[in-house]
Amino acid sequence: MFVWSGNNKTMAKLTSSTTHGVLLLHLCLLLLHIFSPALSLETTKLRGSCLASERDALLSFKEGINYPAGRLLSSWEGQDCCRWRGVMCSNRTGHVVKLDLRVYPEEFQWTSMSSDISPSILALERLNYLDLSFNDFGGQQIPKFMGSFKNLKYLNLSNANFGAWLPHLSSLKHLDMSYVNLSAAVDWVQALSMLPASLRVLHLSNCNLNATLSALPVYSSNLTSLVTLDLANNDFHGPIPDGLLGNMTSLEELWLGSNDLVGMIPETMKNLHKVKVLDLSQNQISGDIAKLMERLPHKIQSLSLWANNLNGSLPNWIENMTSLSTLDLGYNSLIGPIPSGMGKLTNLSYLDLRSNHLVGKILEDQFTSLTRLEMLDLSNNSLTMEVHPNWIPPFRLKVVYLSYCKLGPHFPAWIQSQTNITILSMSSARITDKLPNWFWNVISQIRYLDLSLNEISGVLPMTLEFLSTAESIILHSNQLKGRLPKLPMGLLYLDLSRNYISGPLPLNLGTVELSYLLLSNNLINGTIPSSLCNQLQSLEILDLSNNHLSGQLPQCWTSGNSFRAKSDRRDVGCYLVIAHFYNNSLSGKFPLFFRGCQQLSFLALSYNNFFGNLPAWIGTRLPNLVFLLLKYNMFFGYIPIKLSKLDHLQVLDLAHNNLSGTIDPSLVNFKAMTLTSLYTSDLHTYAAGIVENIDGYSDPFSLFVITKGQILEYQSDKIFFILSLDLSGNSLTGEIPEQIGALTGLKNLNLSANRLTGNIPETINGLLSLESLDLSNNELFGEIPPTLSVLTFLSHLNLSYNNLSGRIPSEGQLETFLDPTIYIGNSNLCGPPTSKNCSGDQTTMSDLPEHEDGYDMSSFYLSMGLGFAMGFWMVFGTLSFKRTWRITYFLFVDDICDRIYVFMVLKWARLNARIKKK
């Protein structure tokens, strides 16, 4: 079984093995709607008469069981308990011999009620089979009386939320204790050594076992009849001990994945003649792959070594391992070519060599006899596929991952014979061809399709909607033309960004399930039809940026009005997290479209023709906004004060609108901008999700920010490093509020081209992370505050075209700005780098500026401390804004950021030195 998001290796692996990942397993099974018939329940309809004592025992046992959904045990009624679900009696004696209360995925429900095992169950003397897996026993210890079942041969207590203790049961053949936390057991090593010699199957995966393998008594004791040993997902460490495996000659399956085992496998491994399955994945097994393979038992069928540290190249004599059906060597450091011997493995059905350093050509030879191959993953190597255009492969693949293999320039014709494909990933395969006509018919069973980052041309077929199994279609960065056709009904993920898709959006998308709709950088025009509203109800990410869309956005989620929301039954929620409409020709007032979108984190309407006031509800109804990008529109009026309620806001870009009024002090209250550490949010998870979903490679989801006078492109996860406040190019009046100094984390502040007056506030030194400050083209006056010079990260400054006066401070960071154009248009500024001399410039001590109202050096440094501490206070919100600075705050500084601490102390030392000199 494979999970559609092929990138998620772990998940796919976990779900393909029955022993790992209980929660994932549950979720996946539920999600994928796999309804396996509860076979065991059928077996209960046998004849046989129930013993009254056993019936009573079962009934009191039932009392303690809060069975999920309560369904199974509700059939426990009537006299003949042998007919109850999950109960099986002996035909001969009428005794209950089997109790199967396993919870099957389709019955699974999260309940808060846990169960108890009543000792009454002991009355079932002849019980030989007990399965309580996937129930919830609330973490309690496995009751000691369970050790009294003398006849028990099969015991499955896995995934049942039991605490430690291994039962000592003398007849046991099959024991499954997976997900039982055994680390709390007094001495699990000893408990293991007491397991009976009759044991055939032992599952102890996910039991928190922490030891070296040589400490395991299973090697030294008489567990020589073990057929299956499963110790996956524990903390076993060190090498696999030489010689100890030798005794376990009955072993057929050995599961040791997800531990910390190191080194090469021992030579004695070869003596385990019966071993068919060996899983050592996700360890740190190292050494030469050829040497390792020499030590494998001859009849091995399934070898899983993915995510280890193996190196060397695959030997050609691999052709002798004719029993191999599964070979998984992904995520190692293998080099060299794929040997042609590989093509002789007639039983091979699963071949995974992903993410190694393999080179060379893939020829027909390597596949000659692979008639059973169903899953092929060669992605992320440096392989080039060179097969004859008429080649008809001997196999019918279901899963194909060939990303970053060179398959082009022609579209691989051999795909035409692969009509069973459900997953096809050929991203970055250097295909520069037209999509062949047969393609869409061949992939009629596709679930996951990724052909991104090629130069594939052609149009999307109008029959796309008939790909009824499709969940993800990822075709970004190609040269596809034509209109967006109606989509498959179950489609969850569509990425057609960076193509030449044109024409309007369809009136009917054909799906209501879509979560990701990424259409950026195309030629789509027309309006967004309101008929799409109820089809977008599952949408989380909508990227329509860089198209030619016009008109108003439809009013989709009118639920903004909570009063109506309750009465309107048709009302659907909005799950949008990212809404990207950058650079279209959209118009109208600020779209009501978003009013019900509580989750919205990223909203970009920049470079459109929106107008009108910015509504106050942005601040209250979109509490999760991290990015609000409205640049280059025609919004007018005041900036609503309620915006300051956006606690997570990291980038506010309102540049080039017609906004007026003052910058209200409360406006600079954005909590996120007061944090100097990287601010992570839900959006981070989402963006990381986008990136991951694309087969492990990053989608060109990016954000342009103008800072330091340049347009910088931030891609994907990098966007979380931006903290920017850009209000430039509006008609804002009044003074810059001194509270701005609280935005300790801010990196870019641009207030240029407004009509701001007053002084540059001295608190500017609070902007400790500032890299770019542009206050040009305003009506600011007074002196440049010397506090500005403490901003050590400042690399871009522009104060031109104001009415600033006095000496330009030449202290600290300001020393590094030599370009006089950053000061031009201020006729009363003097001193370097301007050519104008300040009057009375003779004294040598003049490099520290004097303030008009007795601003001396110590108050300068005091205010520096204030600015700094202020940012700190805002972070924790415990101290108020205007407090006297105290040296003790430096101690806090130390915890946050050594760099600042060092800087401050240096300054302090220098100051002291200077004061003494005076």
Ligand X SMILES: *[C@@H]1O[C@H](CO)[C@@H](O)[C@H](O)[C@H]1NC(C)=O
Surface-to-core class of residue 743, CB atoms within 10 Å of its CB (0-12 exposed, 13-18 middle, 19+ buried): buried
Asked whether 147 and 167 are in contact (CB, 8 A), the reply is: yes
Asked whether 872 and 891 are in contact (CB, 8 A), the reply is: no
Identity of the residue, 187 or 853, whose beta carbon is nearer to ligand X in the bound complex: 853
Q: Taking the complex as a whole, how short is the minimal distance between the CB of residue 705 and ligand X, in angstroms?
A: 9
Number of shown-chain residues binding ligand X (CB under 6 A):
29
Phi, psi of 638 (to 5 degrees): -80, 160
Of 18, 79, 91, 190, the residue at the interface with ligand X (CB under 6 A) is: 91
Nearest to 400 by CA among 419, 387, 388: 419
Strands 710-715, 702-707: pairing kind: antiparallel
From the list 215-223, 267-275, 383-391, 776-784, the region that binds ligand X by CB under 6 A is: 776-784
Phi, psi of 466 (to 5 degrees): -85, 0
Of 707, 724, 765, 826, the residue at the interface with ligand X (CB under 6 A) is: 707
Our CA dihedral for 119, 124, 130, 131, rounded to 10 degrees, sits at: -60
Q: What is the DSSP letter of 417?
A: G
Region 781-800 residues binding ligand X, contact defined as CB under 6 A:
781, 796, 798, 800
What's the CA gap between 277 and 17, in Å, rounded? 12
Identity of the residue, 18 or 731, whose beta carbon is nearer to ligand X in the bound complex: 731
Q: Taking the complex as a whole, how short is the minimal distance between the CB of residue 609 and ligand X, in angstroms?
A: 18
- Count other Cβ atoms within 10 Å, centred on residue 499: 23
Q: Taking the complex as a whole, how short is the minimal distance between the CB of residue 730 and ligand X, in angstroms?
A: 9
What's the CA gap between 514 and 511, in Å, rounded? 6
609 contacts ligand X (rule: CB under 6 A): no
From the list 136-144, 455-463, 532-540, 705-713, the region that binds ligand X by CB under 6 A is: 705-713
Cis check: omega of the bond before 529, within 30 degrees of 0:
no
776 contacts ligand X (rule: CB under 6 A): yes
- Count other Cβ atoms within 10 Å, centred on residue 530: 14
502 contacts ligand X (rule: CB under 6 A): no
Identity of the residue, 584 or 748, whose beta carbon is nearer to ligand X in the bound complex: 748
Residue 295's SS3 state is coil
Rg (CA), the chain: 35
What's the CA gap between 146 and 160, in Å, rounded? 15
Asked whether 241 and 261 are in contact (CB, 8 A), the reply is: no
Identity of the residue, 275 or 822, whose beta carbon is nearer to ligand X in the bound complex: 822
Identity of the residue, 398 or 656, whose beta carbon is nearer to ligand X in the bound complex: 656
What Å distances lie between residue 303 and 296, 298, 333, 797, CA to CA?
9, 12, 17, 61
Q: How far is CA 54 from the centre of its chain?
A: 51
Identity of the residue, 192 or 719, whose beta carbon is nearer to ligand X in the bound complex: 719
Identity of the residue, 88 or 509, whose beta carbon is nearer to ligand X in the bound complex: 88
Region 731-750 residues binding ligand X, contact defined as CB under 6 A:
750
86 contacts ligand X (rule: CB under 6 A): no
Q: Taking the complex as a whole, how short is the minimal distance between the CB of residue 808 and ligand X, in angstroms?
A: 14
From the list 75-83, 502-510, 611-619, 706-714, the region that binds ligand X by CB under 6 A is: 706-714
From the list 224-232, 551-559, 735-743, 772-780, the region that binds ligand X by CB under 6 A is: 772-780
Nearest to 660 by CA among 684, 634, 697: 634
534-553 burial, b at 16+ Cβ within 10 Å, e below that, comes to ebbeebbbbbbbbbebbbbb
Q: Taking the complex as a whole, how short is the minimal distance between the CB of residue 87 and ligand X, in angstroms?
A: 12
Of 321, 460, 578, 822, the residue at the interface with ligand X (CB under 6 A) is: 822
Phi, psi of 89 (to 5 degrees): -110, 160
Q: Taking the complex as a whole, how short is the minimal distance between the CB of residue 659 and ligand X, in angstroms?
A: 13
From the list 309-317, 357-365, 498-506, 771-779, the region that binds ligand X by CB under 6 A is: 771-779
What's the CA gap between 313 and 335, in Å, rounded? 5
Q: Taking the complex as a whole, how short is the minimal distance between the CB of residue 95 and ligand X, in angstroms?
A: 10
Of 74, 731, 821, 912, the residue at the interface with ligand X (CB under 6 A) is: 821
The identity of residue 545, as a single letter, is S
List the alpha helices (DSSP H) in 17-84. Answer: 22-31, 39-42, 52-64
Region 16-55 residues binding ligand X, contact defined as CB under 6 A:
46
Long-range contacts, stretch 68-76, CB < 8 angstroms, 24+ apart: 68/103, 68/107, 68/108, 68/109, 68/111, 68/135, 68/136, 69/107, 69/109, 71/107, 72/41, 72/101, 72/103, 72/107, 73/101
801 contacts ligand X (rule: CB under 6 A): yes
655 contacts ligand X (rule: CB under 6 A): yes
Of 8, 66, 90, 660, the residue at the interface with ligand X (CB under 6 A) is: 90
Q: Taking the complex as a whole, how short is the minimal distance between the CB of residue 769 and ligand X, in angstroms?
A: 15
The identity of residue 145, as a single letter, is F
List the alpha helices (DSSP H) in 108-199. Answer: 188-193
Of 651, 706, 742, 870, the residue at the interface with ligand X (CB under 6 A) is: 706
Of 281, 301, 356, 752, the residue at the interface with ligand X (CB under 6 A) is: 752
774 contacts ligand X (rule: CB under 6 A): yes
Of 408, 412, 729, 865, the residue at the interface with ligand X (CB under 6 A) is: 729
634 contacts ligand X (rule: CB under 6 A): no
* Total residues belonging to the chain: 918
Q: Express the helix, strand and coil content of the chain in percent, nearest 5 each.
A: 25, 20, 55
- Determine which helix (DSSP H) or strand (DSSP E) holds 901, and give its type and residue range: helix 898-917
From the list 378-386, 527-535, 547-555, 770-778, the region that binds ligand X by CB under 6 A is: 770-778
Identity of the residue, 617 or 781, whose beta carbon is nearer to ligand X in the bound complex: 781
Q: Taking the complex as a whole, how short is the minimal distance between the CB of residue 753 and ligand X, in angstroms?
A: 5
Q: Taking the complex as a whole, how short is the minimal distance between the CB of residue 687 and ligand X, in angstroms?
A: 24
What's the CA gap between 352 and 364, in Å, rounded? 17
- Partners of 710 in beta bridges: 707
772 contacts ligand X (rule: CB under 6 A): yes
Region 202-231 residues binding ligand X, contact defined as CB under 6 A:
none
Identity of the residue, 28 or 50, whose beta carbon is nearer to ligand X in the bound complex: 50
- Determine which helix (DSSP H) or strand (DSSP E) holds 261, and give its type and residue range: strand 260-263
Identity of the residue, 90 or 286, whose beta carbon is nearer to ligand X in the bound complex: 90
Of 70, 409, 612, 709, the residue at the interface with ligand X (CB under 6 A) is: 709
Q: Taking the complex as a whole, how short is the minimal distance between the CB of residue 795 and ligand X, in angstroms?
A: 10
Nearest to 262 by CA among 241, 291, 232, 231: 241
Give the contact letters, 425-464, x = binds to ligand X (CB under 6 A), - = no. Answer: ----------------------------------------
Q: Taking the complex as a whole, how short is the minimal distance between the CB of residue 47 and ligand X, in angstroms?
A: 7
Q: Taking the complex as a whole, how short is the minimal distance between the CB of residue 676 and ligand X, in angstroms?
A: 21
- Partners of 264 in beta bridges: none
From the list 521-529, 694-702, 769-777, 893-901, the region that binds ligand X by CB under 6 A is: 769-777
Identity of the residue, 341 or 825, whose beta carbon is nearer to ligand X in the bound complex: 825
From the list 248-256, 398-406, 661-669, 816-824, the region that binds ligand X by CB under 6 A is: 816-824
Nearest to 130 by CA among 233, 58, 180: 58
Identity of the residue, 580 or 796, whose beta carbon is nearer to ligand X in the bound complex: 796
Identity of the residue, 145 or 793, whose beta carbon is nearer to ligand X in the bound complex: 793
The identity of residue 445, as a single letter, is Q
- The residues of the shown chain that bind ligand X, judged by CB under 6 A, are 46, 90-91, 655-656, 706-709, 728-729, 750, 752-753, 772, 774, 776-777, 779, 781, 796, 798, 800-801, 803, 805, 819, 821-822
